A and B are shown apart, each in its own frame.
Chain A
Amino acid sequence: DQQVKQNSPSLSVQEGRISILNCDYTNSMFDYFLWYKKYPAEGPTFLISISSIKDKNEDGRFTVFLNKSAKHLSLHIVPSQPGDSAVYFCAASDSGGGADGLTFGKGTHLIIQP
């Protein structure tokens, strides 16, 4: 039973355009959401996060939007650059602390085409 779902295994976007990665969750106890980026043979690295008290968080080219009623979040990257090509994981947690770890989606492989 997947609690965090990324329904697009891959996404191809032209350089300079906007990349939109989507994530849905089912557990209403989740109140903190994160995006991680992963290159081959490396561990995931933290990209951006959002708390459930907000609906938007922006950091440079990266913006995360949260729609709590729809249990949906998205990551926008604009403009997309070749170095953005990677696997992006959506993750969620409840504020109960670290004992439950993070719940990850299966990831979306973003390919930025020149």
Chain B
Amino acid sequence: GAGVSQSPSNKVTEKGKDVELRCDPISGHTALYWYRQSLGQGLEFLIYFQGNSAPDKSGLPSDRFSAERTGGSVSTLTIQRTQQEDSAVYLCASSRGPSSYNEQFFGPGTRLTVL
């Protein structure tokens, strides 16, 4: 069956440019999560959606980061005026519901490199 998909798989951009990362969750999963993994670090939680709403955006690293989810399905993570420290693998996960007991299924990630 179809898992979580993310696009692009790799993105190289110049400092100062905007980038948009896309996540297609598993059909029927109402909860969606964004994480990032910087080199040598664990996964850092960024934001969570239940349906189309994100109750808490405080995990986003700066105001250059924004995320939206439309139709309770696809989500996009946008980074404006990218900086070199934004270079990381951005991972999306989805689950059946918001409870921590629901398994989170991860996509393969988008590797972002900011030159």
Given A32-B101, A42-B108, A102 and B45 contact (CB-CB distance below 8 Å): yes
CB–CB A101/B33 < 8 A: yes
A43-B91, A101-B59 given; A106·B48 CB < 8 A: no
Q: Interface size on B (CB < 8 Å)?
A: 32
Which of A13-21, A59-67, A76-84, A88-96 touches B?
A88-96
In this complex, how many residues of chain A approach chain B with their Cβ under 8 Å: the count is 27
B93 touches A43 (CB 8 A): yes
Chain B interface mostly helix, strand, loop or mixed?
A: loop
Contact pattern, A 41-53, Cβ under 8 Å of B = 1, otherwise 0: 1111110000000
Flag the segment in B34-42, B63-71, B74-82 that touches A.
B34-42
- Which B residues form the contact surface with A (CB < 8 A)? 4, 31, 33, 35, 40-46, 48, 50, 55-56, 59, 91, 93, 95, 97-109
